[in-house]
Structure 1
Amino acid sequence: MSPDGGANQDVERLGSLIRRLREDAGMSQGELAAAAERHQPRSHGGLDVGQISRWEREVRLIGPYWLPAMAEALGVPEERLRRARAASKAARRRVRGPQPTGVDAVLRDLLPPDEPLAAVETRAGARVGMRDADRILRRAHALRLADDLVAGGDLVDAAMQELNAARELFNASSHSEPVGRRLLVGIAELAQLAGWVASDVTNGPDVARVFRLGAAAAREAEDRPLLGQLLGSWAYFETNRGHHSLGRDLALRLGTESGPEAPPRARSLVADRTAWCSVRAGDVQTALRAVGESAEALAEHEPGDDADRHWLYWVGDDERRIMEARVYTVARRPLRAVPLLREVLADYPADHTRELALYYSWLATSLLDGGEPEEAAAAAGRTLELSASVPSARAAARSKAVLTALRPHAAVPEVAEVLAEWGPPVA
């Protein structure tokens, strides 16, 4: 051990060791991913070139789930990889100061080439135009896309900075009424994003306050579909933190607040929020009815009918089926939930780590309800492996829930193995 308590500094770090062993064996990253999957009997897919690249660059470290399979694929003792992993962790601890999160790099890829990374600056008393308002909306969408790749713990500061800058610009500048309305839309979109991101952080900003701010801006801008999105996000947040009555009350207002002019994908999203908040409050019939309404609304969607509402970009059949499966899971209907989850997970983007962790957690829960603890252990292992690599309060909460659900099945060898790797000893 080194004086600072870490592994011996002479041990080769994990990323460079994996790359060197792979190259010595004449394997591509894709071939290594395929070989590791062959040695992981619990794998349901998902290991790809991107994940191998992240491990080699030490963007993430291999967790207990994949470590044995990687050792087999590389033809080395597992202990050698464990020593290298310890060396990498020790090296990370020795680095002083804030660690780079990769947010700037993600935004640089998502923003136009000439767009500065800094938030829009306040110019007290200055006249601002539609160009400034449109820039705020572009940045809101870039952050929204970044949320697919970067978890809340890494993104919350940037989101709150953008929201505060947009508010200051609106309050300190002069502008025409149309520009002011556009600025309010930007504030509302940023508030929805910031609240959503903050809900993925432990001890972060006051999420409900952020959503209320966004709802007020959307209402003042007279953008009713966006108001529905803010209230739906708020309802979802309250439901997920155990305030089921408040969440359901908010959700049941959504259809009226969104207005009849809401485009099909906005109506589908309202129905999804209503379904989730209702089933968590114990109202299964309302939830199932809303699931059907979501599918009907989405079927009406035509390309271009909501082109000016970029916040709907992610609403599609895969996400709708995920919500449907989650409703079935909470309603204890695994025969309906499991096929939906497996179908979506088969083709889900491998770099959406947090979402994959969450969706595998619902699959694990449904499989337990369906009397398949061995399969549930495999899905739980994926959840825990993925959750360990992202700073996400939602993923951490679902990991805890999955471990709790597994413990009554500790006599099953596959479950016992997962609990031994990831959970405290079972009493």
Structure 2
Amino acid sequence: MGSSIGANIRRERKRHGWSQARLAQGVCRTAGVQGEPVGRQEISRWETGKRTPREWLPFLAAALSIHVDVLTGVQTPVEPPLPILDDYLPKGDPLAPLSARQGRRVGTDAVRDLQRRVHGLRLADDVIAGGDLLRPALRELRSAVRLFREGTHTELVGQLLLQVIGELAQIAGWIASDAGQHAAAERIYRLGLSAAHTAGNATLAGNLLGSLAYQRTNTGDVQEGLSMARAALDSASDAPPRARALYLDRVAWAYTNAGEDQAAMRAVNEANDTLTEHGGEDEPDYLYWVDSGELQIMEARVYTELQRPLRAVPLLQKVLSRYNATHARELALYLSWLALALADANEPEEAAATAERVISLSAGVASERTASRVQVVLARLEEFRNVPEVRALLENTA
């Protein structure tokens, strides 16, 4: 029972974006006690199952604004058999039944044009946030689906069209998710899954399912996100190294959010090992951005969430040095993890200065992800309100 309570405490604390010290303060405040009979170390002991809160449970629940049953309930573990990629396809096949319609003759030139346009969207997403890109992305996706459904084409061209639709769905879903349109993003991802599955492209299907897993994890459905991420990885035995490294990164992130620290670290290390296998093989264009720097970002984020700032801070500082203001969204997101890691390292002044950069960069970015990260950072800094630099920042953003 103790280990289950500990996992529940950790999950709910992270859902609030709180440190262990911040939760300890909340427990003491709701209990109405003076001093700090409960501190960060005690929270850590509860979360790891070394001790059981017992009489502190009602105050823990009150601090977290939940019922005690949420803390004492047993989490349902992920048990075999694990889901497979096919389990996440939409009901029926929204594409293939319509391909028999007669219309414009579609050839390989049209496919190449679509491939150029989808890659252009990817490059645009590197510097433009989801709120500004969503309309053009959806317009491109609808156009490609219409071309497949209403045109006439050979079997080979039809297969290539389906792959382009899958790629468009992945980037359009990513853009919709960044804009905070999570339900729309899931529908788009599942459309892309159907297209990739019909085309027989397992690597693309794994990328789409991994993207959906990442969204599920980030929106609180952690166990489903973990199941999806593992299913995407299990389908990737023949995928090129950079694809497998990407899928392993998503597995690592899901494990991190599920509180499975050792499994997260194993996945991070395996992703790095897998990337070293990359070199000269045929691979899809959409893997262009997967490199050692991106893996270091995920590794640093995992370290931050696991509250290991001595590892997280140097990694983040190293990778962030290559980003400039043209990548405002990514810079803001990654700086937000640096701010948290600095707070964990008990460097509130540096954390406040970094948080100020996050807020400044986010102000001009139409991204729900950056907006939510700002709130997480500000919540984390609350425990340092007595530090002048932090107090000034919090008062300016109130």
What TM-score bracket applies, with the shorter chain setting the length?
0.7 to 0.9
Partners of 2:215 and 2:301 lie apart in 1 by 16
In structure 2, relative to structure 1, the CA distance for the partners of 1:203 and 1:226 (3 Å cut) is: closer
Aligned to 1:267: 244
Q: How far apart in 2 are the matches of 1:230 and 1:257?
A: 12
The equivalent residue for 1:280 is 257
Find the partner of 2:159 among 170, 181, 195.
Answer: 181
Choose which of 355, 358, 365 in structure 1 pairs with 2:340. Answer: 365
Give the match's secondary structure for 1:202: coil
The residue type paired with residue 194 of structure 2 is: A
In structure 2, give the amino acid aligned to 1:305.
E
> Matches of residues 218-257 of structure 1 in structure 2 within 5 Å?
218-257=196-235
1:159 matched to 2:121? The reply is: no
Residue 305 (structure 1) aligns with: 281
- 2:312 maps to 1:337: yes
The yes-or-no answer on 1:214 pairing with 2:189 is no
Greater helix proportion: 2
Q: Does 1:377 align with 2:352?
A: yes
| Cα distance in 2 between the residues matched to 1:357 and 1:328 | 18
| TM-score, reference length from structure 2 | 0.73
Instruction: Indicate the RMSD between aligned Cα atoms, in angstroms.
Output: 1.3
Shift of 1:351: 0.8
Describe the SS at the equivalent of 1:253. Answer: helix
Once residues 392 and 198 of structure 2 are traced to their aligned partners in structure 1, the CA distance between those partners, rounded to angstroms, is 55
Query: SS state of the match for residue 324, structure 2?
Result: coil
Q: Which runs of 5+ in 1 are unaligned?
A: 1-122
- Find the counterpart in structure 1 of residue 176 from structure 2: 198
Question: How many residue pairs were aligned?
Answer: 298
CA offsets, 1:361-383, max 9 Å, x none? 00000111111111111111111
The separation in 1 between residues aligned to 2:225 and 2:353, in whole angstroms, is: 32
Structure 2: stretches of 5+ with no match in the other structure: 1-100
Match in the other structure for 2:21: none
- Contact residue 131 and residue 366 of structure 2 kept, 8 A: yes
Q: Which residue of 2 aligns with 1:316?
A: 291
Runs of 4+ in 1 over 4 A off after TM superposition: none
Q: How does 1:56-67 map to 2 (within 5 A)?
A: none
SS in 1 for 2:235: helix
- Alpha-carbon distance between aligned partners in 2 of 1:234 and 1:353, rounded to the nearest angstrom: 24
Aligned-residue identity in percent: 50
The alignment's TM-score, normalised by the length of structure 1, stands at: 0.68
Deviation at 1:204, TM superposition (A): 6.7
Quote the Cα distance in structure 2 between the aligned partners of 1:216 and 1:204.
18
Cα offset, 1:202, TM superposition: 3.2
Provide, for residues 295-319 of structure 1, a one-character-per-residue CA deviation record: whole Å limited to 9, x for no partner: 01111111x4245x11101101111
- For the residues of structure 2 that align with 1:211 and 1:156, how far apart are their CA atoms? 14
